[in-house]
A and B are shown apart, each in its own frame.
Chain A
Amino acid sequence: MTTFAFALLFAASVFGYAWNRQAASSLRNDGQRLHSLSGFHGLYSFLCVSIPVFVLILVWLVFQGSVIDWLVTAPIAPENYATLETGPKQLVLAEIKSIAGGRIFGTPEDWKLAAAERLIQLRTMSAWLLLAAVFALAVTQVLRARRRVDADFRARQGAERMILGLIQFCAIFAVFVTVGIVFSLTFETIKFFRMVPPLEFLFGLNWEPQIPIRADQIAGAGAFGWLPVIVGTMVITVIAILVAVPTGLLTAIYLNEFASSRARAIIKPILEILSGIPTIVYGFFAVLVVAPAMRQFGADLGIAISPNTALAAGSVMGVMLIPFISSFADDALSAVPQSLRDGALALGATRGETMLSVLFPAAIPGIVGGVLLAVSRAIGETMIVVMAAGLIANMTLNPLDSVTTVTVQIVTLLIGDTSFDNPKTLAAFALGMMLFLVTLVINIFALRIVRKYREIYD
């Protein structure tokens, strides 16, 4: 039925477009001078119909669920529903819905069957009502837009205003989502800090979140000091950057200045494929290939290397970041004007000297920006470290040890039983908040560096 509603929306919009356009054209053919071109009259009608009808459908779909629930449960005897707590209420409702869907377990009470019957009726009615409402609104809007077609009507301005509104809405949408995410993070983080003192979280050296969620569980006492976790993140990030930055930069320099067009045509697409590999694939590459190889290598040298190491996870993450860095640096180097290149070459500089002393300094802002973006990606990267880094929060800087990261801990905290009145679950939000703050600071720093250098070179 929703599909029909959308089909109706589409048909009405297209019809409105054609009708208005045709009307405007015939006015023009009668010799009138129209303010707007016929196409704009059509577009005006199209937008007049499609935007309100679309909003109507969306609002309907958002609210119909809760309205129907309310109508279904209202006639149920209070002792069976209204007086219950939230949890059992939801169970009753879910049972009614599964009965309505034809999945009947055991022998439900009669009032539940009656409610399911009501639910089916209400759903059908809602769908028809939606179609009727869409039809009514679409017809009204088509007629209203058609009535406005005359020589003086400024259809172009009208259409432009609506399109402006549309693109403004899109821009604001992203802002709203961001603000919403930050708010929910902040809210849960504050709840967490009511249970765990902020000082203990920020400066504690132990991370043992395995505390019981239910009273009958057997688990540890718990400790929520985030330092070992963030240190693990930093160790892995540093390793990743040490791998990615030199390799990526030199790749970019080679491709940009020294590679023949043939080599470039082969290497560039391959790098792009590398950046398209899902991180989970890198993850099992790290855990199944790199980590065992390192362990074997260590064993041959007589060094004990744990099966999950920061080095394996970090270096594979570095490989993942190579195309990221190299494409940023390549863009930055290509953006340096050809005239600078020519100027240096004409002075008798070699290509290497040109690269080092002219192109590279001029491209630094772009390169630094790319590197810092890569750093925030490395900090936020989850899948590789979940698979390859380990779960135990060791406070160590040794890359051959097993470490854990902020993202890994968030994953493990939220897997399995969760409960929003327990610090174990809420700790995930606190970690998320800290991660958000760290990457935010790095991004601001990146932007500032780029701006600062841009003033000098330009």
Chain B
Amino acid sequence: MNDMTKVERDLNMSDAKIEARGVNLHYGTNHALKDVSIEIADRTVTSFIGPSGCGKSSFLRCLNRMNDTIDICRVTGQIMLDGQDINAASVDPVQLRAQIGMVFQKPNPFPKSIYDNVAYGPKIHGLAKSKADMDAIVEKALRRAAIWDEVKDRLHEPGTGLSGGQQQRLCIARAIATEPEVLLMDEPCSALDPIATAQVEELIDELRRDYAVVIVTHSMQQAARVSQKTAFFHLGHLVEFGDTGRLFTTPNDPRTESYLTGRIG
């Protein structure tokens, strides 16, 4: 289940990219996350699993402060990115989100051309000095998202005209075009068919070379296939966190075992 060697894993363990301590989240009076602490390693795929409404997506959205846009949402606790508290007053959420890319559950390409979709991030952050520069960035992002060959002849057609799987890979290309350090994926395959899912999973494995990838998924098989670390959430608690292989074979917590064997969820 886990093809990482012991050495590789130890190397990654020392290298925490994101560190969360005592994170609590309230939607109005609803206490959605309860005292969550976790360390997310660099160049690793970490998956969040758990039944619907367990808080895994909410926690993911804490990591790039997307919850700021929800009026009734209140987050307390500490989330450190490279040792810097992301909720500190000095941190600009706009710049933070440029560092931490995000891919959503439903493919959400902008109603623009394929090219403009990918170029959007680099444009607003001023990453390209010239048109040629921008072309190179767009091509690189599309290649890494494994969609270049399919769209290179129609870069100026609307991104909304692509199939669901292509749209999702376009959204991944859009997210990595800004050269983020962390990539958050919120159930990126839930709207895709098995073939498109396989393509995206392969892509996730590729991306691990450069990024810390955090993926929320409903599919335990997917978590087992793509991730090195797995965190199990239940009713707002982080129940168990550890190496994917270990968590799936010998879970420590009885709740994890119940979920994995289908008794809760």
Judge: A and B partners, yes or no. Answer: yes
| Chain A residues at the B interface, C-beta cutoff of 8 Å | 260-261, 337, 339-350, 353, 357-358, 361-362, 456-458
Whether B64 lies near A346 (C-beta < 8 A) is yes
CB-based contact B158/A347 at 8 Å: no
Cα separation A349 to B108 with both chains bound (whole Å): 15
The A/B interface has a contact count, at CB < 8 Å, of: 74
Q: Nearest-CB distance from A348 to chain B (Å)?
A: 3
Question: Is chain A's interface secondary structure helix, strand, loop, or mixed overall?
Answer: helix
Q: Does B97 belong to the interface (CB within 8 Å)? A: yes
- CB-based closest 3 A-B pairs: A348-B98, A346-B102, A339-B108
Chain A binder among B27-35, B118-126, B225-233, B235-243: B118-126
Shortest A430–chain B CB gap in Å is 45
Question: What is the minimal beta-carbon distance from A257 to any residue of chain B, in angstroms?
Answer: 10
Q: Mark B65-79, 1 if CB is under 8 A from A, else 0.
A: 010010100000000
User: Do A348 and B66 touch across chains, with their CB atoms under 8 A apart?
Assistant: no
* Distance in Å: Cβ of A177 to nearest Cβ of chain B: 39
Instruction: Give the complex CA separation of A442 and B117 in angstroms.
Output: 34
Contacts A339-B104, A340-B108, A348-B96 given; 6 further ones with Cβ under 8 A? Answer: A342-B108, A343-B174, A344-B120, A345-B66, A347-B120, A347-B121
Name the A residues within 8 Å of B104 (CB-CB): 339, 342-343, 346
B158 touches A346 (CB 8 A): no
> Are B108 and A456 in contact (CB-based, < 8 A)?
no
A348 engages B178 (CB within 8 Å):
yes
Cβ contact of B97, chosen from A337, A348, A358, A362, cutoff 8 A: A348
B175, A348: Cβ atoms under 8 Å?
no
- Report how far A339 CA is from B160 CA in the complex, Å: 13
- Of A343, A350, A457, the residue contacting B108 (CB under 8 A) is A343
- From B106, B110, B175, give the contact of A346 (CB < 8 A): B175
Question: Of all chain B residues, which has the CB nearest A455?
Answer: B158
Give the complex CA separation of A458 and B112 in angstroms. Answer: 10
CA distance A358 to B104 in the complex (A): 17
Report A447 CB to chain B, min CB distance, Å: 20
**CB neighbours of B109 from chain A (8 A):** 343
A–B pairs, 6, beta carbons within 8 Å: A340-B108, A342-B104, A347-B101, A347-B178, A349-B94, A362-B111
Give the number of chain B interface residues (Cβ < 8 Å).
Answer: 29
Contact of A348 among B69, B95, B110, B171 (CB under 8 A): B95
When the two chains form the complex, which single residue of A261, A353, A458 contacts B124, counting CB atoms closer than 8 Å? A353
Contact with A along B31-44 (1 / 0, CB 8 A): 00000000000000
The answer to whether A345 touches B69 (Cβ under 8 A) is: yes
Tell me the complex Cα distance, A457–B116, Å. Answer: 14
In the docked arrangement, what's the CA distance between A457 and B111, Å?
5
Using CB atoms, name the residue of chain A closest to B158.
Answer: A456
Q: Is the CB of A458 within 8 A of B98?
A: no
Q: Are B124 and A348 in contact (CB under 8 A)?
A: yes
CB pair A337–B108 under 8 Å, yes or no, is yes
Q: Is the CB of A349 within 8 A of B160?
A: no
B62 to chain A, nearest CB (A): 13
Give bound CA distance, A261 to B160, whole Å. 32
Contacts of B101 on A, CB cut-off 8 Å? Answer: 346-347
Interface residues in B74-106 (C-beta closer than 8 Å to A):
94-99, 101-102, 104, 106
CA distance A261 to B95 in the complex (A): 25
Q: How far is the CA of A10 from the CA of B41 in the complex (A)?
A: 77
What residue of chain A has the Cβ atom nearest to residue B97's Cβ?
A348
The answer for the CA separation of A50 and B36 in the assembled complex, in Å, is 68
Residues of A within 8 A of B64 (CB): 346
**B74 to A: closest C-beta gap in Å:** 15
For the complex, give the distance between the alpha carbons of A346 and B174 in Å.
Answer: 11
* Residues from chain A with Cβ under 8 Å of B120 in the complex: 344, 347, 349, 357
Contacts of B71 in A (CB 8 A): 260-261
Most chain B C-beta atoms within 10 Å of own C-beta, residue among A337, A339, A347, A458? A347
CB nearest neighbor in B for A361: B111
Looking across the interface, which residue of chain B has its beta carbon closest to that of A341? B69
- Given the known interface contacts A339-B106, A353-B124, the answer about A347 and B112 at a Cβ–Cβ threshold of 8 Å is no
Expressed in whole angstroms, the Cα–Cα distance for A118 and B69 within the complex equals 80
Inside 8 A of A361's CB, which chain B residues have their CB?
A: 111-112
Q: Mark B196-217, 1 if CB is under 8 A from A, else 0.
A: 0000000000000000000000
Query: Among the listed A260, A342, A347, A456, which residue makes an inter-chain contact with B98, where contact means beta carbons less than 8 Å apart?
Result: A347
CA distance A456 to B110 in the complex (A): 11
A102 CA to B162 CA, complexed, in Å:
81
Which of chain B's residues have a CB closer than 8 A to the CB of A340? 108, 110-111
Contacts of A260 in B (CB 8 A): 71
Distance of A353 Cα from B124 Cα, bound (Å): 8
The answer to whether A348 touches B108 (Cβ under 8 A) is no
CB distance from B61 to the nearest CB of A (A): 9
Question: CA separation between A160 and B71, bound complex, in Å?
Answer: 48
**Cβ contact within 8 Å between B111 and A344:** no
A345, A346, A456: which contacts B111 (Cβ < 8 A)?
A: A456
**Contact A458 to B111, CB < 8 A, known contacts A346-B66, A347-B124, A348-B97:** yes
Bound Cα distance from A275 to B120, whole angstroms: 38
User: In the complex, what residues of B have CB within 8 A of residue A357's CB?
Assistant: 110, 120, 124
Kindly report which residue of chain A lies nearest to residue B120, judged by CB atoms. A347
Q: Which residue of B has the minimal Cβ distance to A458?
A: B160
